[in-house]
Amino acid sequence: MTIEWDRATGALDIATLKTLFDEGSLTPEDMIDIVYDRIEARGDDHVWIHLIDRETSRARARALMADPAAKALPLYGIPFGIKDNVDLAGVPSTSAVRAWARMPETTSHLVQTLLDAGAIPIGKQNQDQLGMGVVGVRSDFGIPQCVFNERYISGGSSSGGGVSVGAGLVSFAVANDAAGSGRVPAALNNIVGYKPTPGLVPRSAKSQAGMVGTENFLTLTMADSVLLTNLGFRHDPSDPFSKPEAQGFRVSAAPAPATFRFAIPDAATLDTDGDAESARLFRESVARLETLGGTAVEIDMTPYLTAAKMLYDGPFIAQRYANFGDRFDEDESALCPPTREILSWGRKYTARDVFRAQYIIAGYKQQVRQLFQTVDLIVTPTTPSTYTIEALLADNIRLNAKMGTYTNFVNLLDLPSASIPAGFRHDGIPMGTMLTGPSLGDDLVCRVGAALHDALGIASGLTGKPELAVAS
């Protein structure tokens, strides 16, 4: 069956492209030209730190087309972007710090897995420096903007990835998520960001191997996230945080259970920062979950909100300093002011402080384990609200912390989570709803997330409401 698809605006989800390739409507080489034409049409949107040239990408596509066995590969001809702290051999990596640019000789295992599966890399993408931030304004390479309104932030730290998928430039983007970097840009660009339980996907950014967090993908559908993440699950003994359970671990987008229970913030701990539209969209997501068979249970989120603040506003920032401190101490001026200030906080904490913080987090892990004895999921807004770029530049650190209200605690407590589109505010800005499950409870997060997205009934990215993609 032939599907209708527009070269300028058609969705790039993996299932659609596979259908187009199978029916012969497009070839991978055609798709490369479409992708680069779309990138050129957007102009300088600050998405790309290093864009691979068109002819190199076309040559990759032709090589796939010349291999009779390649068409059976799960990602045959699928275009993707890579966050700039994940390595692709022969392409510079900067982590958005111009002075720290380096040329990797090897490709990260996750990216190599994607290449072996037939995917075609388009380039390295912008981010908040060193992955420190969830707003997308802390970079030496410009500020990517929300695809629906250029006055608003894109979210970060995987800012370029969120914009590229939301704008229909690539099918998916390789990201990583410690504080919300793969969920916040998903929420603000009307796409999906599923973050596995830490330790199920080996860390590709070896310079950050000691951080809480995990590699993940920004996608148009939960089905795409499931396909991609299943390729990435692997136990890697060389990664000290890799979980043995990762070997053979799988998730699905199968139908959600007929009944399930989910916790939501009570009135005192539901934070939408005065944004009535964000509150409305969250209520609507809760109602959709109830229609799907869920039962909402209000809880006091205070312990988890307290844990969230500890990721940056406490001794855990010393972990960032442990990773980057040597380079930072050589030349602090290489970093933009907010990144520089936050990283400097890591100098002031002692081992005693860190151990005390670990004891507190261990207590919160016990609390959340008890909570998951009575509910299946925690459901919150992905972010309380969103802000203009102008507002972020004027009040960077405080508003960045506000954006991480519900995302920051998740990795600290060893949990999986997914941001699912929640619809649009009346001004046309999208928001997200976040589903968080127990450690290793990824399959339920994905299944309920897929059902929630389907129930929304709005396409992802710009294809959801293209008339809302305005300049101001």
Does 7 reside within a domain? no
CATH number at residue 257: 3.90.1300.10
Does 4 reside within a domain? no
3-state secondary structure the chain: CCCCCCCCCCCCCHHHHHHHHHHCCCCHHHHHHHHHHHHHHHCCCCCEEEECCHHHHHHHHHHHHHCCCHHHCCCCCCEEEEECCCCECCECECCCCHHHCECCCCCCHHHHHHHHCCCEEEEEECCCHHHCCCCCCCCCCCCCECCCECCEECCCCCHHHHHHHHCCCCCEEEEEECCCCCCHHHHHCCCEEEECCCCCCCCCCHHHCCCCCEEEEEECCHHHHHHHHHHHCCCCCCCCCCCHHHCCCCCCCCCCCCCEEEEEECCCCCCCCCCHHHHHHHHHHHHHHHHCCEEEEEECCHHHHHHHHHCCCCCCHHHHHHHHHHHHHHCHHHCCHHHHHHHHHHHHCCHHHHHHHHHHHHHHHHHHHHHCCCCCEEEEECCCCCCEHHHHHHCHHHHHHHHCCCCHHHHHCCCCEEEEEEEECCCCCEEEEEEECCCCCHHHHHHHHHHHHHHHCCCCHHHCCHHHCECC
pLDDT at position 459 over 70: yes
Does 8 reside within a domain? no
Predicted local distance difference test score (pLDDT) of residue 356: 94
Predicted local distance difference test score (pLDDT) of residue 466: 62
pLDDT at position 468 over 70: no
The tens digit of pLDDT for each residue in 321-366 reads: 888 988 999 999 999 999 999 999 999 999 999 999 999 999 999 9
pLDDT at position 53 over 50: yes
pLDDT at position 208 over 60: no
Task: Please give the model's pTM, rounded to 2 decimal places.
Answer: 0.96
Does 302 reside within a domain? yes
pLDDT at position 210 over 70: no
Mean per-residue pLDDT, 54-80: 98
Mean per-residue pLDDT, 247-270: 98
Full residue range of the structural domain in which residue 175 is found: 14-468
The tens digit of pLDDT for each residue in 119-134 reads: 999 999 999 999 999 9
Tell me the average pLDDT of the chain. 95
Does 9 reside within a domain? no
The tens digit of pLDDT for each residue in 380-417 reads: 999 999 999 999 999 999 999 999 999 999 999 999 99
Does 114 reside within a domain? yes
Does 246 reside within a domain? yes
The tens digit of pLDDT for each residue in 148-192 reads: 999 999 999 999 999 999 999 999 999 999 999 999 999 999 999
Does 328 reside within a domain? yes
pLDDT at position 287 over 80: yes
Which residues are annotated as catalytic?
83, 157, 181
How many domains does the chain contain in total? 1
